[in-house]
Amino acid sequence: MFRVLLWAAAVCLFGGAFGSPASAYESAPVATKRTVATFIAEADSVGPGGSARIGLRLRLADGWHTYWRNPGESGVPIELTATFPAGAVAGPLDWPAPSRITEGAIVTYGFTREVVLPMTISPGKDAAGLTGELRANWLVCKDICVPEEAVFAIALPKGDGAPSAEAALFQTHDRAVPRVVPWSAAIASDGTLSVRGTELGPAAVADAWFIPDAPGQIADAVAQTVSIRNGEIVLGLRLAEGFVPGAGLRGVLSLLDKGGARTDVALSAVAGPPPMPPFPLPRALMFAFLGGLILNLMPCVFPILAMKAIAFAAGFARGEARGHALSYTAGVLTTFVGVALALLAARGAGLAAGWGFQFASPVFVAAMAWLLFAVGLNLSGIFRIEAGFAGAGGGLAARGGHVGGFFTGALAVLVATPCTAPFMGVAIAAGLAAPPAVTVLVFLVMGLGLAAPYIALSFVPGLARIMPRPGRWMEVFRQLLAFPMYGAAVWLLWVVSQEAGADGVLATATGFVLLGFAAWSLGQARDGGYRRGGYFGAGVAVCLALAVLAGLGGVPPAQISGPMGGPMGDQGRGAQGNGRGAEGFSVERLAESRAEGRPVFVNLTAAWCVTCLVNERIAIGTDAVKEAFAARRVVYLKGDWTRQDPAIGAFLRVHGRDGVPLYLYYAPGRGEPEVLPQLLTESTILAAVRRGS
């Protein structure tokens, strides 16, 4: 360490400047074998504006570097301390953008060759120029690190503020300062940094990386995955323990074009989901309607189709088809609006809620299993709320007429939410990114799509004529359709097992027994004359079932099992990515696999998503797909969204989705993944693997 006092030298060099401006203002150098440090000023005098830019200029020997305000995983930032007479005001240091410097296994941020670090000084309205002291401390490193320092005297006269010969150095520095741009950015809880701006896209940007303003925010040495598409850049960062969730992230985004030119941008990312691209409202509404229409064909809705078939046949028997269709549609639309409002409220409270969010709760899943089980008992004739069965269901949904139709529609929406039909994902994500009124409108149109076939059958005479005439077959059909209800209840019991384990299964199965007893008691009260005892027994059984349901909320989450073997959490490294099993998904593992040059197949799923389960059985889990993954060393990453993991939710929204399933195939050497259809086939996956080879 050394110290150089240049007061006398400064007076000798610049004392004459008080009489007439000099042509240059750079101090005598403080030199070592590693650096040459000088004090420079942009002007030879303090002009009428009453301020001046001064700074430290460091020139470094080949191979040596010094550090930025965030030095990264090692090092110490340059420090400048200015001492001025009372009344003078010093502005902050104006840092240029740094370079990433690899030092062995660590990454630091700093400068090589040359750097100018300026600040703006206002000496005061009545000051006769600017006098003071500038103290500089810096660490310079190569194979070893050496701390250095210097002290410079400041003596700028009052004058016209004409540029000095060193003004060009300040102009070069200004071009290296990160630009301020009107781009939007967000940092998700899983480290996904999303930046949206009209200037972004593959034609203008070939590579990008992010440098945080403060240390301890990200794992600096971990590779950052980069995805560049028109209007958006998505970076995968690994957040460090020092990162504060909800505080956002500030720093420098460095962009490299295809010609190698670098542009640095000052970035401030808010905490939360990534900014959604602007999506034309007419297209969002069209996708919403088509998604709701196709939802009728999804596996989740099969039990509800049974309920609608009975309601439709009974409605024609009573000549009430149109009224029942309207009441059913009203139930569908009302429940869709309720789901939209619940999602908006959850998002406003900071929760990572998405489509099908209610199925993340084992309490809700068990309640739905019991409801469908009760529907099945009603259809089987164990009990009847009313003789009429238009809109047959459990509880209110079992009532006839318009009330039954309304609650059948409500139940249809609740049971349908585990499925995401084509077009729905984009429409839901766009709707939730829009103002609340638009969100509600998108969900209303989706509800119209779900109800559209039923409305058409009721209001188009030509379609109505194809319906069979009422008769005894309806009672047989009614009893037959109880079995899809029982099947749906069994499926939901399995979902509970995935969410809450064996204890959850025991609680749900106990509820089945209690509800069965309640249904039997009601049947006895109606048919056997034991009216008071039957109602009392049913009431006690229902109360006990509700107590069991309340206790289910305290059951700890269970580990989810993957369809190709092994848990969906972290697995041992020995079998990862061999095409025979799935690894637990994480942004970090995705980045590692892509950095290794491996193809990656990402499957984001949930235990309650019937579409996901069907796809895994008939497409992902086939021998042909397993062999293709093994032959090309495809890393298969499976993300479990059963309990709506916030990190996976953020990753979904990065890719314009607000629910599962989502299937992505990352080919080696390509920035953008291929988004596969929500309804998968074996040939679709194999074709994607071949294209990416």
Beta strands in 61-216 (DSSP E): 65-72, 79-83, 89-90, 99-103, 106-112, 114-122, 130-141, 145-156, 179-180, 184-187, 192-196, 207-212
Peptide bond preceding 273: is omega within 30 degrees of 0, i.e. cis?
Answer: no
Q: Which CATH number fits domain 573-691: 3.30.9.80, 3.90.1310.10, 3.40.30.10, 3.40.50.970?
A: 3.40.30.10
Give the least confident one: 61-70, 271-280, 292-301, 390-399.
Answer: 390-399
Looking at per-residue pLDDT, the higher value among 531 and 421 belongs to 421
Looking at per-residue pLDDT, the higher value among 393 and 69 belongs to 69
Q: What is the mean pLDDT of residues 84-96?
A: 85
Distance (Å, rounded) from C-alpha 664 to C-alpha 89? 55
Looking at per-residue pLDDT, the higher value among 26 and 601 belongs to 601
Distance (Å, rounded) from C-alpha 203 to C-alpha 181? 19
pLDDT digits (tens, 9 = 90+) for 181-240: 878 888 887 788 988 876 787 888 889 999 999 999 999 998 898 888 777 888 989 988
Distance in Å from the first CA to the final CA of the chain = 57
Distance (Å, rounded) from C-alpha 239 to C-alpha 251? 14
CATH number for the domain formed by residue range(s) 180-271: 2.60.40
Distance (Å, rounded) from C-alpha 514 to C-alpha 506? 12
Distance (Å, rounded) from C-alpha 198 to C-alpha 475? 62
Q: What is the pLDDT of residue 388?
A: 35
Q: What is the pLDDT of residue 127?
A: 72
CATH number for the domain formed by residue range(s) 7-176: 2.60.40.1250
State the span(s) of the chain assigned CATH 2.60.40.1250. Answer: 7-176
Other Cβ atoms less than 10 A from the Cβ of 12: the count is 11
Looking at per-residue pLDDT, the higher value among 68 and 522 belongs to 68
| Res 108 pLDDT > 90 | yes
Nearest CA to 249 out of 272, 275, 222 is that of 272
Distance (Å, rounded) from C-alpha 283 to C-alpha 276? 15
DSSP state of 617: I
State the span(s) of the chain assigned CATH 3.40.30.10. Answer: 573-691
Q: What is the pLDDT of residue 257?
A: 87
pLDDT digits (tens, 9 = 90+) for 558-567: 544 443 333 3
Give the least confident one: 115-119, 388-392, 601-605.
Answer: 388-392
